[in-house]
Structure 1
């Protein structure tokens, strides 16, 4: 065996390559701005997804030839494409609004240097290649006042977090300001436990933090119940308190990047309840901005519908009629008007578009209050995905365009051309029907049979019609446990749905399940799809988070072609992670557009599972949209499956089902 070269020499080579890569990435970014200049002249859309797919397919093929994994190549280039898209958008948006362009912005944000709001403002300004004049504020109202008075050009307000949900205080201040929303930005939030040098977790007695990080890290803090919590106005204030402290028994929750500005060390990382923790900020200014038509735009508005039955559904139907996708719906109480609410909507459309203009005119006629808060470029860059065939072959040029027909021009079995009537599937009291959507609750195994029976009784009383069991491989003595689980479910007349996560799950699942649920990770498993097609049981096929809706329909067609016509599709969201962190983590976003696409394309029932993308406390805000888009069922999940359901969760589930059925 030959002796390897010295480690230092290898590291020097890697460093040289890294420098070359950074130089090439910088050059690529410059060229992407040349593309933006061309699109400004030709007025072409900012994104060409067909070309992006061709690019990814070619790179996957070339990467394989060099020994690189396809998903590694895709993850890397999705990040590069996102950077290119956002920089082109920033460039074209600036060109369309020359009066806003200047070498320095004064940015008002919550807290002091190092807070998450500060990091969001820094990122926003850096992308626009302008200097940032810092303007720290102690409250959201102070941010609004700074911009309204002209002391700041822009205000940065956190609007939602993937872990703790919407930030209600910000929605409330938006009701009473004349400022316009002119932009948005999203940052990764990795909460760390920050201390002075030399301290460790055993020393800590007091933790300083803003209420939002405390909420987002509740599980970690629950495991360290001895810690005293001190609330601060911002993460920056929390870090400053630790820096000024003369003892080693205090800590702050904040980012490692922010902590470094206060000479603090991160002794614990990843404190947030959710693995992926992101915060979205809106940017407000005195004047609204113009969004060029080739940029993906988002319009935010508030409206009050009144208290008559079906008023909200009528308003949402206007959006559907004009083919407008609502990406967020939030409700807040109207001050001084008990039991009435103001609704905030994010709509993926340019305010100047004909469809949006027409929809607003109709909404003005049926609402008692409506106001546009702003139209701005959307920074939600959906990653381009390759379907299974493209991943296998690595070239789109080898794939003919796939339509909802077979090679002999016969309609595919899932299509409405093949069957014009909606397929109705019923199992006991569970019916997949848009008029009365099925309610399914997921329970994660392992679980003790006696605890399971207690939970099933509570779930039955709440109004669920089926229980979905996930994690067969985790359950000890699984077959005997399934016998007892099935007995409990039959006693309460609940359908038994079993998730197939591995091929080895199929035999037991088919024997004890009333319905089988193919996990999204197995959606491309042709062998499993074929076997499911030979069974007489209904089959739910879940969308893979990296797949498009066409791939899900293709998977369903495999099952249908084997004879099983009882197929249900499950829209569970799409992975929005573009590989920026290079940690192979997922950020699942609820794909309401995917639900619309599936309902338009197929006669099969389509259910939705928002649990990957939405916290349980926030699901209720999506129910009106899910109902309005005519989902045939809803999947929810228990946060804790090893013990009896706590009253708070029972109350949450009851509220969700009330919204679903009323």
Structure 2
């Protein structure tokens, strides 16, 4: 027996009617959630009641046919997330991190400093130096051999700020910097994006067909993959920095070596450009983060970086993402990194867009502990384009 298929407008009319009823029920539910929040606040009860939530989700799953169980649990989970977010907002419960951020905003400096002592990895002419000059008008730069040296200089108070590359538009994350983020304590206060333009630099008089060895940073080498494939006879060497590569070529007693480096380094180290812009793509940018030791939030901070460890169970990451969704906070970056010594467990890095002074941001920070095992606040800042 076949059933007649109703006209689409008729079906949609019934759907709209059900949706209207659901909205009315949602408003009634949120009003009851407010009563629950008031009771918890009056009686000093915690907002999160995991046992009750597990019981409710199990009850929902058992009340619908098997084919709809996952959908029903997701819907119930979103409703509970919305109610809990409102409870945090209304009760004003502040986490330890939330309190620190509140104090930082309360005492935020009026202006970002124009003069500062800044730590960078590399030597003069490095892209980190170019980024530093973009962030500060009059920086005094101290150069270090490694990224860890930059972190330590900031932690130990040798430099007020540090500037580090965190990701590239074509080669991806700078893994070493992200690994060091797990070990050191700092606060991101600015970020900027620098156009990356890799050129083949050699001593005056050297021709392209003479080059036997080429030096650069491992990220630059990956970004120039196509060029290197086209020149298979050239041996590639990774060094600490593109500017260090240029200086090595300038100081070498050989005439058959070259560096993949910037135009600024060609002028700085008196080298000729044999080939211009040999990176794989013209739309090649590296993002740099400016860090400092103490939690500081400067005016205009509308981007935040977070590092989270979620529980090793199904749906754990979804619970975190649903919190962003419930608060209408835009997620602009999500990166996963394996946790050392913990098999098949990952740490997640988030970049979100939301003014640090917005109420929904405070609600997020004060409630994240409910949906993850551990999290670190890496700073709120403005990105300079």
Q: If the length of structure 2 is used for normalisation, what is the TM-score?
A: 0.70
- The partner residue of 2:368 within 363, 367, 382 is 363
Structure 1: state its 5+ residue gaps.
1-92, 381-662
Paired residues in the alignment total 280
Distance 2:154 2:196 in 1: 25
> Tell me, what secondary structure is at the counterpart of 1:367?
coil
| Matches for 1:262-661 after TM superposition, within 5 Å | 262-292=269-299, 295=300, 297-379=302-384
Distance 2:130 2:298 in 1: 25
- CA spacing shift, 1:100–1:323, aligned 2, 3 Å: closer
2:204 matches 1:211? no
Q: Per-residue displacement from partner, 1:430-488 (whole Å, max 9, x unpaired)?
A: xxxxxxxxxxxxxxxxxxxxxxxxxxxxxxxxxxxxxxxxxxxxxxxxxxxxxxxxxxx
Q: Which residue of 2 aligns with 1:442?
A: none
Distance 1:375 1:272 in 2: 32
Q: Which has the higher contact order (CA 8 A, sep 6+)?
A: 2
- Check whether the contact 2:250–2:269 (CA below 8 A) recurs between aligned residues: yes
Q: Which residue of 1 aligns with 2:208?
A: 201
2:197 matches 1:186? no
Structure 2: state its 5+ residue gaps.
1-104
- Check whether the contact 1:194–1:253 (CA below 8 A) recurs between aligned residues: yes
- Check whether the contact 2:118–2:160 (CA below 8 A) recurs between aligned residues: yes
2:229 matches 1:222? yes
- Check whether the contact 1:179–1:286 (CA below 8 A) recurs between aligned residues: yes
- Check whether the contact 1:209–1:254 (CA below 8 A) recurs between aligned residues: yes
- The partner residue of 2:246 within 217, 239, 245 is 239
Distance 1:276 1:257 in 2: 19
Shift of 1:207: 0.2
- The partner residue of 2:144 within 137, 150, 155 is 137
Shift of 1:133: 1.2
Superposed CA RMSD in Å reads 1.8
Q: Which residue of 2 aligns with 1:429?
A: none
> Tell me, what secondary structure is at the counterpart of 2:341?
coil
> Tell me, what secondary structure is at the counterpart of 1:312?
helix
Q: Which residue of 2 aligns with 1:116?
A: 127
Distance 2:298 2:304 in 1: 10
Distance 2:366 2:116 in 1: 35
Shift of 1:352: 3.0
Q: If the length of structure 1 is used for normalisation, what is the TM-score?
A: 0.41
- Check whether the contact 1:302–1:345 (CA below 8 A) recurs between aligned residues: yes
- CA spacing shift, 1:201–1:226, aligned 2, 3 Å: same
> Tell me, what secondary structure is at the counterpart of 1:112?
coil
- Check whether the contact 1:195–1:267 (CA below 8 A) recurs between aligned residues: yes
Q: Which residue of 2 aligns with 1:631?
A: none
Shift of 1:247: 2.3
> Tell me, what secondary structure is at the counterpart of 1:327?
strand
> Tell me, what secondary structure is at the counterpart of 1:202?
helix
**Which aligned runs of 4 or more in structure 1 are off by greater than 4 angstroms?**
none
- The partner residue of 2:109 within 94, 97, 102 is 97
Distance 2:265 2:326 in 1: 46
Distance 1:134 1:377 in 2: 21
Shift of 1:105: 1.3
Shift of 1:258: 2.0
